[in-house]
Structure 1
Amino acid sequence: MKILAIAGSNSDTSINKQLVSYAASLIENAEVEIVDMNDFEMPIYKNQREVESGVPQEAKNLAEKIDAADMLLVSLAEHNGTYSTAFKNVFDWTSRIKGRKVWNDIPMFLMATATGPRGGLGVLEAASKRFPLHAGNIVETFTLPHFNDNFDKETNVISNEEKNSELKEKISKISAVEIILEK
């Protein structure tokens, strides 16, 4: 199974990258690629730029990675209740590729974490509403509040037993979905 793990942040110390990396490590017998938003930096989207220069190659490269995946793990950083600017720009450009829907109906496990008590719930809610309009096949969601209290940065594991069990249970469910899809 090929997993594409996307952290919707361009922070060098992204907590969402830590979460999505941990979640990916829980899937057995998977080939995992972690996507770094910094590898997909593009000019800020505007229609005139698209008309003059077309869709940047970076957006096409991400689309190819999405299409090659059997499962998407997406953990979104929350900035002011919604996507980070870095993620939103990549999303916008990828949505402009003619003849494609951004997520291409690939099964997706959508996650978020934050240092506060809501754990990125705002961005998770926004993405849960928006992504299906772009062929987002969300099969499960997860949020981790109080990241600094609930994630051990030395071992890269969720230290809150209840949240760790919840994540593992959801990973089992999405792994079962993928096995069914392979048949």
Structure 2
Amino acid sequence: MKVVAFGASTSKNSINKALATYTAKLVEGADVTVLDINDYDVPMFSEDKEKEIGQAEGAQKFLNDIAGADALVISFAEHNGHYPAAFKNLFDWATRINRAVYGDKPAVYLSSSPGPGGAKSVLAAATGSAGFFGGNVKASVSVANFYDVFDMETGEVKDDTIATELKAAAAKLTA
């Protein structure tokens, strides 16, 4: 099984990319590919820009990289209760090429933040709209107080309850 994972964040030290990577690696026997949304250069979306350039190459590359997956693990960063602008922009371009961006592939949606909210607002938005964009969400998990439960140096979860929850979510990708 090929699992594609990414954090919907442009941070070089993204906690959401770390969380997505960790969770994807819990899928037994999976070949995991981790994407970095910084690798998909797209201009700011507008209908005028779309008329000018057509499809953005970065968005097509993003869709191609997702298309090769059997399953997805996506962890959403939250900026002021919403998607980060860079991810939303890439996503908007991608939906203009293929509205079913996620291709009905089984997916685990995650979110995390350093604080107690766990980016639950963006996770709710992502899971609530998933069906409109080919999202087939098998499980969703919000991880609050990220640095208290995750060791960035080792890439491992330190909290047994969170580790169990993430393992159960990952197992749903093969069920």
TM bin, normalised by shorter chain, reads over 0.9
**Contact 1:151 1:159 survives alignment (8 Å):** yes
Identity score, percent: 39
| 3-state DSSP of counterpart to 1:174 | coil
8 A contact 1:114–1:145 mirrored in 2? yes
The one-character-per-residue Cα deviations of 1:149-183 (angstroms, maximum 9, x if unpaired) are: 1111222111111111111122122222xxxxxxx
1:45–1:92 contact (8 Å) kept in structure 2: yes
Equivalent-residue separation in structure 1 for 2:160 and 2:57 (angstroms)? 42
Does structure 2 conserve the Cα–Cα contact (< 8 Å) formed by 1:8 and 1:74? yes
Query: What amino acid sits opposite 2:137 in the alignment?
Result: I
Amino acid paired to 2:5: A
Partner in structure 2 of residue 179 of structure 1? none
Taking the TM superposition and a 5 Å limit, the aligned residue runs for 1:23-42 are 23-42=23-42
Q: Give the aligned partner of residue 122 of structure 1.
A: 121
Cross-structure match for 2:51: 51
- Amino acid in the other structure paired with 1:35: L
RMSD of aligned residue pairs (Cα, Å): 1.1
1:146 match? 145
The count of aligned residue pairs is 175
Give the secondary structure class of the aligned counterpart of 1:42. Answer: coil
> What does the per-residue CA deviation read over 1:92-148, in whole Å, with 9 as the maximum and x for residues that have no partner?
000001x55211111111000101112110100011112211111111101110001
**2-side partners of 1:106 and 1:21: how far apart?**
17
The runs of 5 or more residues in structure 1 that have no matched partner are: 177-183
What TM-score do the two structures reach when normalised by structure 2? Answer: 0.96
| Contact 2:138–2:169 under 8 Å retained in 1 | no
How many angstroms does 1:76 deviate by?
0.6
Shift >2 Å, 4+ stretches: none
